[in-house]
Structure 1
Amino acid sequence: MATKQKALPLTLDEENQHEQVIVDDENNGFDYSKRSQWLRAAVLGANDGLVSTASLMMGVGAVKQDVKAMILTGFAGLVGGACSMAIGEFVSVYSQLDIEVAQMKRENMRKGGGIEQEEGEKEELPNPLQAACASAFAYAVGAMVPLLAASFIKDYKVRLGVVAAVVTLALVVFGWLGAVLGRASGLKASLRVLLGGWLAMVVTFGLTKLVGSNRF
């Protein structure tokens, strides 16, 4: 029969550190649950823009050495992806908003709250338009990284190498930044983002090269 282990008591130093973190958070006025909403949209948007655009450019670069084709593909990916992110975030947040407003009305009816209280609570809810704009902007920022890296390099092999190197650096930075702002492990987050980005670029490059080598 398995015995239930008791949690070890905290030492005096650990208790002091824990209390200090709580005091600092209260004094600073940070609400990490609220900040995680815009942080999620910003980090995911930037990562999606970076990885998606870089993968598109690497895929085209696998079959075409022309820098113009590569840049046009990346630009089309930037515009289309930013629009897609904005629409998706808008619909998602608006659906969440409808659910929360309906729940709020039910609570106010049950508790007998007034209209002023309901309007005040609505102001604290997420804004779909702001979330959509933030997602589109973050996506565009991420997508600009590979675009700028490839814009001024004519040599085919050098261009591919520079794009891969710059995207690698940006993946590490985005992963680390998201982890630091969310108080998570920077190393683990950076590795996850980096490996995912590399995998997307390699698979896109390889499959496009395979398909492009066949004549239809």
Structure 2
Amino acid sequence: MAISETKIIIPNNESQESNMDDVDYTQRGQWLRAAVLGANDGLVSTASLIMGVGAVKDDVRAMILSGSAGLVAGACSMAIGEFVSVYSQLDIEVAQLKREKKLNSGEEGKEVDDASGDRLPSPIQAAMASALSFSIGAAVPLLAAGFIRHYTVRLVVVAIATTIGLAVFGWIGAVLGRAPALKSASRVLLGGWLAMAVTFAFMKTLRTIVQNLAYKIAKGEENNLKTRPEGRENSFPACYLCGS
């Protein structure tokens, strides 16, 4: 009498989960690094620019024009710098892959296969990510305080908007890179606050120095007017070289 056997196949969920966990997130590093760096740079530089312009001139139009110029110039600068940097890295990695292919096959490696090419960094992708993220980051403080005339209120609004923006961009970078969100957001927030504090302190110090220097120059000119002989207050020499 034949005994029938029944086989029960249990799906291996662990292998499926391991395949999902084996995703190579290092491929995201090239544009993720550029995006996080660009967003933070846009936030901090534009917020510091707004503070500097507002500290010396209480004009909303001047602040908007300065912030917009900083946004465009910063985005172009970040894109070009990231493109050149990643392209140099690409040349080095392509040369290394060709050398490895030559050593393994004994033939001259003139081309890079598709599997190796997928792991190479993309200069255009990194440049676009850097420029776009810088523009988004720079727009946050610019739009938040673009129509506030009072300097103190503007400073508070810029600080709050920049803090929220730094925390959000840090959290997004952590989620995309599968890193601890709280640790990453805190690191980005502290770094941005440090940069803003240094920039603001430098601008305030420079403003004080310039004001003191201008005051001394004005006092010196006033003393010179007081010590001039009578009748020569409004007289000027016809020749500045000979004094006649």
TM-score normalized by the length of structure 2: 0.72
Q: Distance in 1 between matches of 2:102 and 2:185?
A: 47
Q: Which position in structure 1 is the counterpart of 2:191?
A: 196
Query: 1:157 Cα shift?
Result: 2.1
Deviation at 1:201, TM superposition (A): 2.0
* Residue number in structure 2 paired with 1:16: none
**Per the alignment, in what secondary structure is the counterpart of residue 154 of structure 1?**
coil
What is the match of residue 118 of structure 1? 112
1:1-216 correspondence to structure 2 within 5 Å: 23-24=16-17, 26-27=19-20, 30-112=23-105, 118-120=112-114, 121-213=116-208, 214=211, 215-216=213-214
CA contact (8 A) 1:60 1:208 kept: no
How much does 1:51 deviate? 1.0
Q: Please report the TM-score for the alignment, with normalisation by the length of structure 1.
A: 0.80
What is the total number of aligned residue pairs between the two structures?
197
By how many angstroms is 1:209 displaced? 2.1
Give % identity.
62
SS of aligned partner of 1:118: coil
> Any conservation in 2 of the 1:179–1:186 contact (CA below 8 Å)?
yes
2:59 maps to amino acid: D
Q: Which runs of 5+ in 2 are unaligned?
A: 1-12, 215-244
* Contact 2:98 2:111 (8 Å CA) reproduced: no
- Residues 62, 205 of structure 1: 8 Å contact kept: no
**Could you say if the C-alpha distance between residues 155 and 93 of structure 1 is closer, same or farther in structure 2, counting changes exceeding 3 Å?**
same
* Conserved? CA contact 1:71–1:150, under 8 Å: no
Which structure: larger Rg? Answer: 2
Contact kept in structure 2, 1:172 and 1:191, CA below 8 Å: yes
In 2, Cα distance between equivalents of 1:67 and 1:196: 28
**More relative contact order, 1 or 2 (CA 8 Å, 6+ apart):** 1
Task: Give 3-state SS (helix, strand or coil) of 2:56's partner.
Answer: coil
The CA RMSD measured in Å over matched residues stands at: 2.4
Give CA-to-partner distance per residue, 1:132-180, whole Å, 9 cap, x none: 1111111111111011112222333222211111111111111122122
For 1:47 and 1:59, how far apart are their aligned partners in 2? Answer: 18
The answer to whether the Cα contact below 8 Å between 2:58 and 2:149 also exists between their aligned partners in 1 is no
Q: Distance in 2 between matches of 1:207 and 1:162?
A: 20
Which runs of 5 or more structure 1 residues have no equivalent in the other structure? 1-18
Contact 2:98 / 2:110 at 8 angstroms: preserved in 1? no
